[in-house]
Amino acid sequence: MLRLYDTRSRQLEPIVPANARVLRMYTCGPTVYRYAHVGNLRSYLLSDLIRRVLEQHRVRSVVCQNITDVGHLVDDEEIDPTGEDKVLQQARREGRSALEIARFYEDAFRRDTSALNMRTPEHTPRATETIGLMIDLITKLIEMGHAYAVDDGSVFFDARSFPTYGEISGNRLDALKPGHRVEGVDPRKRFHADWALWKGSDREMTWETPWGRGFPGWHIECSAMSLRFLGEHIDIHTGGKDLRFPHHEDERAQSNASVGHDVVKHWVHGEHVLFDGRKMAKSTGNVVLLSDVEAAGLDPLAVRLAFLEHRYRQQLNLTWDTLHAADRTLRRWRQRVAEWAESPSEPIAAAYADRVQTAFDDDLDTPTALRVLRELERDETVSPGSRLETFLHLDHVLGLDLAVDIGKPPVVPVLPPGAAELLEARAQARAATDWAASDRLRDELASLGVKVIDTAEGQTWS
């Protein structure tokens, strides 16, 4: 049985779907105004791993992942009707319409998740196409006394009407400090911790409602979509650690208040990704896209493998060295699998498979699973056919396309023109201890795309 760390209960809990054979899972999707960087993509691997592990237990998943194409402000702490929407801001920068921007980056996101072998969710509703759901939910919350409209057409959720607010993040209402704008605490709110369900405005991308024209707040879309596409009982809700507060606290309050009970059974959050020890950001110049990885000659699934080397709840520090190492491991495993496929197939190595499955079930302990696989790779007492079947069986969870080279002729590396002569000259230079010439020739070889490594047995190349 799969066990996951529940952020709300702060302990490992067994995952038992309300429906014995179908698990319902919601995962917060992208705001489509720019390319997703590799740090963003790690969050979506979490739900993919959960569904793949559950498939090993013959449990099917129904997943809903929203597309935020309106309503996410540049600064979501500011409930300001003049606040700029991220999609609109990018549209202005690129000289395209908001719809063109949203669809372009949504398509790019889908290409990236496909390249990382992430399963397509069953439901991917867009915010702009589900405004009616949000209006209906806000109307219901107003009627139930959980929300109130103000003169400018905005609607706020009454935070004090939901007594268990803060159970996910630990941020209790009585301890929250008021947020301040230039003119002080927002006078439209009854309580400083109330948040906007709807923002009155007559800017672009707005809609008419019973309380006035405007656009939805960021949090309401996830409540409306999850309730519509998954129902009032959702087994797992995933997202990045940064979404615990305020997004998931607000979403939980909205959903629960509307139906009168806990909608989500388990809240599961993934940790952040750093690159070269720093948070990915344009300001620091270390944003890495999946296209950058491919441009460096690496398989995009090397990113997936690098993610699997760390547990989803561990902060991960990616570097180009770790990505290159993951790429080498990926290519080696594919080569070994292709070699083993030349031998007769034999039953799975049950002892190894059980250890890996135990690691998967233990809060997605993928680092341990990979260590067991490396152990199996080296274990010559296990037949090639058995190792083949075990690797392929476990790849249903790993998602690394380990069978991709089966049946392909072996790749024989070919030196570019002139490289053989340079290698010979370098070998002679090293024999003569002419290190300056050796280094110069290494650089010339690198310019041709040939990497040289010196070993105790002499130089090797790739």
Query: From CA 73, how far away is CA 31, in angstroms rounded?
Result: 10
| CA distance linking residue 395 with residue 370, whole number of Å | 11
Contact, 137 vs 232, CB < 8 A? no
Altogether, the residues listed in the chain come to a count of 462
Annotated binding site for ATP: 282
- In whole angstroms, what is the distance from residue 96 CA to residue 247 CA? 29
Q: Tokens standing for 150?
A: 């103000």
Kind of pairing between the strands at 316-318 and 60-65:
unpaired
Residues 6+ apart with CB under 8 A from 132: none
- One-letter amino acid at 236 equals I
Binding residues: 28, 222, 247, 251, 282
CA distances from 135 to 65, 142, 148, 219, 229 (A): 20, 11, 13, 13, 16
The whole-angstrom separation of Cα 278 and Cα 284 is 8
Show binding-site residues for Zn(2+): 28, 222, 247, 251
User: Taking the C-alpha atoms of 278, 280, 282 and 285 in order, what is their torsion angle to the nearest 10 degrees?
Assistant: 50
Contact 79, 253 (CB under 8 A): no
d(CA 29, CA 199): 21
CB 121 within 8 Å of CB 25: no
Q: How far apart are CA 266 and CA 245, in angstroms?
A: 16
